[in-house]
Amino acid sequence: DLITLTRSGLPASHVLSDQLRLGSTATGDLTLLLTAIQVTSKFIATNVRKARLINLVGLAGETNVQGEEQKKLDVLSNDIMVNALRASGKTAVLVSEELEDAIIIEEEKRGKYCVVFDPLDGSSNIDAGVNIGTIFGIYKIQPGSKGTIEDVLRPGSEMVAAGYTMYGSSANLVLSTGSGVNGYTLDAALGEFILTHPNITIPPRGKIYSFNEGNAMYFYPPVTAYLKSIKYPASPKSPYSARYIGSMVADVHRTLLYGGIFGYPNDKKSKHGKLRLLYEAFPMAFLTEQAGGIATTGTKRILDIVPTDIHERCSVFLGSRDDVLDVIKFFKEVP
C-alpha cells in the first residue's frame, strides 16, 4: 500500500487526511498548493540531474541546441517556482531568496496563501554535484487581507506548513503541516513522492555536530565554549563527530534523522548570522520542533522572532533537544 504525497486517484490525499484529522476546516486549497510545490520539486530535481550535461552544451556558446539561453540552476529554479506558484491560483504573496522584492499576485490569480522560499539552497555546492535543496514555508493571509508584505512579516510559529526537498542520491521531500513531520522519496519511474519516512522524530540526544568551524576565530565565547565541551568532554564521555556539508537542507536532513546539532551562529564578522530568517531558519525550525527538537538563536526561540525585513538573517542552532539545551545553557552561563 504505497502512500504518495497526493495519493492521486484517491479522494483524500495523505496531506489532506492530516488536515481532516486535525479537525481543520480545510477546503483543500493547501493540498492543491502543496501539490504545486511537489511538482516544482520534481521539475527542479530533473534539472539538477541534467545540470552538468546542459552546462556542457552551454559552454559551446552559452546557448543550448534549441538556441535557448542557458540559465544558471538557481535562477531557473526560481523561475520554476514563481511561475508554478502563481499559476496554482492559491497564492497571494511570494518571497524568494532570489528576488529582492516580494511578489504580490495579481487579483485574477490570487489565493489565500503566502509562500516564502529559497528555490535552490546550498549555492556553493551546486557546481560540485553535492546535495542541494529547496526550502519553503507557508503562511495563510490574515483575515481581511488581500495579500501584502505584512502577511509574511509574522513569526514562524504562525506558518501553516513548512518543508524542503533535498536533491541528492534521491529527491526527498520532508513536510510538516503542523502535525508531525513526514518524509517522501521521489520514485523517478512512477514520478511520485512515496511516503518513506513517516513521523520523523529527532533522537533526544545525538553524537554529531555540524558547524562551519572555519569561522571559529570569529565565534563568540558561548559558542567556542560549547564546541570545546563536545570535542573535549570529561571522561568517560566520547567526543562528538563532525559532519558539515554546507547545504543547510542536507545538514538539517541528517540532523532530523540521526540527531545531533546543526549551528550557524552570528559572530564577530557576520553580526546577524548568515542564514535567512524567513525562508531558511523558520521552515527548518518549524520542522525541527514538529520532530520533537529545539531551534534557537541561543537566547530566543527562532519561531517567536517577528521579522521586520523579508531578507533578514538570524543565528541558528537546531536539532536534538538535549544538545540544543546544552547550547542554551552556555549562552546563559558564558559571558
Using the rule CB under 5 A, is 74 a contact of Mg ion? no
Using the rule CB under 5 A, is 251 a contact of Mg ion? no
Cβ 125 to ligand AHM shortest distance, Å: 8
Q: Buried (b) or exposed (e) across 25-53, using 16+ Cβ within 10 A?
A: eeeebbbbbbbbbbebbbbbbebbeebee
CB 328 within 8 A of CB 307: no
Question: What would the x/- binding string for ligand AHM be over residues 23 to 52, using CB under 6 A?
Answer: ------------------------------
Cβ 127 to Mg ion shortest distance, Å: 15
CB 231 within 8 A of CB 284: no
Sequence-distant (6+) residues with CB within 8 A of 143 are none
* 310/183 Cα distance (integer angstroms): 28
CB 215 within 8 A of CB 269: yes
* 197/166 Cα distance (integer angstroms): 14
Grid cell in block for residue 247: 547545504
Question: What would the x/- binding string for ligand AHM be over residues 70 to 99, using CB under 6 A?
Answer: ---------------------------x--
CB 264 within 8 A of CB 212: yes
Cβ 119 to ligand AHM shortest distance, Å: 10
Interface pick for Mg ion out of 18, 118, 251, 267 (rule CB under 5 A):
118
**Residues 260-289 contacting ligand AHM, CB under 6 A:** 264, 274
Select the binding partner of residue 212 from Mg ion, ligand AHM, none (C-beta < 5 to 8 A, by kind): ligand AHM
Which span sits near ligand AHM by CB under 6 A: 105-113, 230-238, 247-255, 319-327?
247-255
Using the rule CB under 6 A, is 218 a contact of ligand AHM? no
Using the rule CB under 6 A, is 134 a contact of ligand AHM? no
Q: Which amino acid is at 23?
A: G
Instruction: Choose between 201 and 270: whose C-beta lies nearer to ligand AHM.
Output: 270
Binding site for ligand AHM (CB under 6 A): 97, 118, 121-124, 212, 246-248, 251, 264, 274
